[in-house]
């Protein structure tokens, strides 16, 4: 049994397949397994609490794990050690989530492309058809992550408290969410996964896209992401497409296209959930 895992800060999707890519179990979902924001002990607990994973752990021969927070050696090694301690008969491979986005969006394994992630967090890399090139080291949700779910959640809360929202949007926002200041601060500063908490507010944008204010919030975030991340690859985007993966990208595809036209890059593929594209990629190599 082969396990392929696409893990973000909010959730992790697991698919179990045989060597031919045939699914052996229904898709498994656990909480996010980002080693930058939760401990090794918590990582292990989340995995062990899943009944399907527990029941089949000794049958697993390979684990291909793609995760947010796995871009540097220390967290990558932590996740590897946790997975090896649970799936004792498996070969374990841990990669940063950017590689999942690359393999899920490129049209062939040798295609060069700039590949972006817009989900709970955000990232952008260049794939030259063989190697990953990353020009910005991520410093996490509190400093970077432009145009991500947590970025948009933060922007909406700020606009609400600074009285920058139109009155009708403000009323709708406070009707949908608990915006008590103490409650917000408790979730951001006292609870685990504050980035995932903030990202929950991003759904509001896509339920209210008939608002000019909301459309401007979305496009301003994408413009900022283009400036800070995509434009790190100014030369590359002259000759290759810019692909996107993640739920924010999927729901904001029209606004991404507008910004692409405005700022001069070619929009390629947009994949909401990268994990499906990973199955064919890995089984073809076994």
Domains of the chain with CATH codes: 2-101+274-283 (3.30.420.40)
C-alpha span between 77 and 70 (Å, rounded): 9
User: Comparing 170 with 132, which gets the higher pLDDT?
Assistant: 170
> 215-226, pLDDT tens digit by residue?
999 999 999 999
> 44-56, pLDDT tens digit by residue?
999 999 999 999 9
Q: What is the mean pLDDT of the chain?
A: 93
Three-class HEC string of the chain? CEEEEEECCCEEEEEEECCCCCECCCCEEEECCCCCCCCHHHHHHHHHCCHHHHHHHHHCCEEEEEECCCCCHHHHHHHHHHHHHHCCCCEEEEEEHHHHHHHHHCCCCCCCEEEEEECCCEEEEEECCCCEECCCCCCCCCCCCCCCHHHHHHHHHHHHHCCCCCHHHHHHHHHHCCCCHHHHHHHHHCCCCHHHHHHHHHHHHHHCCCCHHHHHHHHHHHHHHHHHCHHHHCCHHHCCCEEEECHHHHHCHHHHHHHHHHHCCCEEEEECCCHHHHHHHHHCCC
**Nearest by Cα to 12 from 71, 60, 79, 92:** 79
pLDDT at residue 22, as a whole number = 85
> 243-283, pLDDT tens digit by residue?
999 999 999 999 999 999 999 999 999 998 888 778 877 77
pLDDT at residue 8, as a whole number = 81
Of 56-65, 96-105, 117-126, give the lowest mean pLDDT range. 96-105
Global confidence as pTM: 0.81
Of 11-25, 109-123, 229-243, give the lowest mean pLDDT range. 11-25
Bridge partner list, 11: 31
pLDDT at residue 169, as a whole number = 98
């Amino acid at each position: 049994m082969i396990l392929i895992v696409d893990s973000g800060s909010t959730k992790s999707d697991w698919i179990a397949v045989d060597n031919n890519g045939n699914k052996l179990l229904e898709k498994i979902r656990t909480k996010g397994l980002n080693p930058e924001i939760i401990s090794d002990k918590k990582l292990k607990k989340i995995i062990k609490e899943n009944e399907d994973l527990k029941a089949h752990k000794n049958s697993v021969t390979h684990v291909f794990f793609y995760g947010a927070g796995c871009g540097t050696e220390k967290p990558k090694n932590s996740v590897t050690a946790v997975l090896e301690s649970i799936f004792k008969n498996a070969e374990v491979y841990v990669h940063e989530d950017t590689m999942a986005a690359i393999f899920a969006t490129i049209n062939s394994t040798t295609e060069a492309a700039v590949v972006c992630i817009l989900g709970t967090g955000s990232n952008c890399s260049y794939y030259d058809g063989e190697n990953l090139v990353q020009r910005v080291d991520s410093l996490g949700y509190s400093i970077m992550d432009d145009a991500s779910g947590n970025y948009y959640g933060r922007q909406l809360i700020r606009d609400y408290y600074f009285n920058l929202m139109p009155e009708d949007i403000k009323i709708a926002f406070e009707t949908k969410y608990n915006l008590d200041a103490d409650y917000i601060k408790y979730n951001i500063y006292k609870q685990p996964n504050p980035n995932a908490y903030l990202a929950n507010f991003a759904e509001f944008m896509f339920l209210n896209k008939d608002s000019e204010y909301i459309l401007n919030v979305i496009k301003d975030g994408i413009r900022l992401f283009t400036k800070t991340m995509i434009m790190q690859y100014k030369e590359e985007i002259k000759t290759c497409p810019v692909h996107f993966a993640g739920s924010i990208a999927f729901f904001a595809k029209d606004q991404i296209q507008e910004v692409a036209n405005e700022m001069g890059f070619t929009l390629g593929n947009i994949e909401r959930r990268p994990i499906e594209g990973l199955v064919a990629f890995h089984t073809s190599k076994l």
